[in-house]
Amino acid sequence: MSRFVTGFSEVVLIVDDVRRAARFYEEVVALEPMSAADDEWAWFFAGDAAKQQRIAVHKGPLLFEEHSPHPEGHRFGNVHLALEVPRARLDEAVAHVGERVEVYGPTRFDWMRATSYYFYDPDGNLLEFWSPDDQ
């Protein structure tokens, strides 16, 4: 456990087309939209009511991007995002995504007692459905 961090407030993924990405995250990943997408932002809830976090997709620069060591257009790079899925719902979640995009796995992680499946969003971000054994 981190001495300072108790969770995450938000994850922002940089995308080429916000509305396309928003449809993917709502229809394929099955995240709950916080509001309607526009051309620059779409926000989603992730997690249950007790520990709900936010995920956004965004087109355009973010604060302090000018300080990035990466070249313009690649300031953040592609992202890997692992989303926790209860074991009882894992097969359903994987089938849902698999109807729309290619899914890789399962990958078994004995050292953390979990199973994962992987897939890509339309912008090349690697997503993971991670499911611990004790759920």
Residue at 65 is within a domain: no
Tens digits of per-residue pLDDT, 109-124? 998 899 999 988 888 7
**CATH number, domain with residue 110:** 3.10.180.10
Would you say residue 2 lies in a domain? no
Residue 22 near residue 38 (C-beta atoms within 8 A): no
The residue written with tokens 């897939």 in the block is 119
The larger pLDDT score, comparing residue 46 to residue 91, is at 91
Q: Residue 74's pLDDT band (boundaries 50, 70, 90)? A: low
26/33 Cα distance (integer angstroms): 7
CB atoms within 10 A of CB 101: 14
Q: How many domains does the chain have?
A: 1
Domain presence at residue 55: yes
Least confident of 13-17, 47-51, 99-103: 47-51
Query: Whole domain around residue 105: which residue ranges?
Result: 10-60+78-132
Residue pointed to by tokens 């509305």: 19
User: Has residue 71 been placed in a domain?
Assistant: no
